């Protein structure tokens, strides 16, 4: 699975003019299931993200995790993370998981984050979403498992 995580002071996702998920301090997690991914990939990614020490401690160093600060996660499906731009100018997305499998892994991943005691909001798989965020730092990290 691939994820682009952004440390935020707030983030929300809107579908058809209605806010369907929002958080305060925490992480916006854009996630994409790739062909061949399994729940084991989702488990590894969720565990790594929950423990990733990218929040500041009292000395101003990135030394605290999402769990440490009691932060929240906004998990949004983002199949375009599978973009292959190696040929031409139009990205290809053939390496993304098929929609049914992608939905299952996306929902499973979000459930795994929530099961760790992290308040979790989500987008809507396959919907045209507007994502708003206030990136803190900015801190943006790419992960793949």
Distance (Å, rounded) from C-alpha 75 to C-alpha 49? 11
65 to each of 37, 50, 53, how far by Cα in Å? 25, 7, 4
Residues annotated as catalytic (active site), given as ranges: 78-80
70: left (phi over 0), alpha (psi -120 to 50) or beta: left
């Amino acid at each position: 699975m691939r994820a682009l995580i952004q440390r935020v002071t707030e983030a929300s996702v809107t579908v058809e003019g209605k806010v369907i998920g929002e958080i305060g301090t925490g992480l916006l997690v854009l996630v994409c299931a790739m062909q061949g991914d399994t729940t084991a990939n989702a488990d590894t990614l969720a565990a790594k993200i929950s423990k990733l020490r990218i929040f500041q401690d009292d000395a101003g160093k990135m030394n605290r995790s999402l769990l440490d600060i009691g932060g929240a996660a906004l998990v949004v499906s983002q199949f375009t993370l599978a973009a292959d731009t190696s040929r031409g100018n139009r990205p290809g997305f053939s390496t993304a998981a098929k929609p049914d499998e992608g939905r299952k892994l996306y929902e499973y991943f979000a459930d795994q984050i929530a099961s760790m005691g992290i308040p979790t909001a989500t987008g809507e798989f396959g919907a045209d979403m507007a994502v708003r965020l206030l990136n803190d730092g900015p801190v943006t990290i790419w992960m793949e498992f």
